[in-house]
Amino acid sequence: MEFFLPGATGDFLSRYIHVLAGIAWIGLLYYFNFVQTEYFKEADPDARTDAFTKLVPRALWWFRWAAMLTFLTGVIMLGSRGSGMTYDILIGAVLGTLMFLNVWLIIWPNQRTLVESNRRVKEGGEALPEAKAAAPKAALASRTNTLFSVPMLFFMISSAHGVQGGGITDASVVSLVIVLLLILLLELNAIFGKPGPIASVKGVITGGFVLLGVLWALVRFI
């Protein structure tokens, strides 16, 4: 199946936009987790409120729409390739799709609540009662996306450069099931659980590479 532009031209443009939008998305994800969150821990209340009413909404706009464009161009490429799907692409696509859903269904709704709550405070009103619960929900989903981003990027790149390179039909069904179950458990934790070791910047970076190592070992040796 071919979408919009046929053949090599359409594939190239889809890939180019996919990578460009992905850079914006993941770059902002890392900004939120490594820079903004750490700043908010040290900033005084007035500075946090001001940032939430002026800076955060702008950053969130680019963040969520970059995620949308990355996802849509990824779908276009998957639809164009059809039987060219590989084990690597499957893992990367599952991780990327969950990250996209986390942005639009968890991070953005809860951050929107926080932005509105801070806007009311800045205008002299009271904070929204639900803001207290919204903050940890958004933070956990964002940390999980950061965790997922390390193996997601690895498997997306390896699919084109031969680290694994085998088709899904040649992969171990057992390893595929274990990989997907592990990813599902981590996603369920993002929705219902607690951050645990990924609460810190060091922890989520280390956790990302540990997860990559585990998934890679499952792919290679089971």
Rounded distance between C-alpha atoms, residue 188 and residue 195, angstroms: 12
Task: Mean pLDDT check: name the lowest of 30-34, 114-118, 163-167.
Answer: 163-167
Rounded distance between C-alpha atoms, residue 29 and residue 53, angstroms: 19
pTM of the entire predicted model = 0.91
Task: Mean pLDDT check: name the lowest of 23-37, 77-91, 156-170, 186-200.
Answer: 156-170
Radius of gyration over every alpha carbon of the chain, rounded to an integer in angstroms: 19
First to last CA, the chain: 33
pLDDT of residue 9: 74
Average model confidence (pLDDT) for the chain?
A: 90
Confidence of residue 169 (pLDDT cuts 50, 70, 90): very low
Q: Which residue has the tokens 């009662």?
A: 129
Diameter over CA atoms, the chain: 62
In the chain, the percentage of residues whose pLDDT exceeds 90 is 75
Which two tokens mark 25?
């998305």
Q: Closest by alpha carbon to 53, among 117, 100, 99?
A: 117
Task: Mean pLDDT check: name the lowest of 35-44, 63-72, 87-96, 167-176.
Answer: 167-176
**Would you say residue 3 has pLDDT above 70?**
no
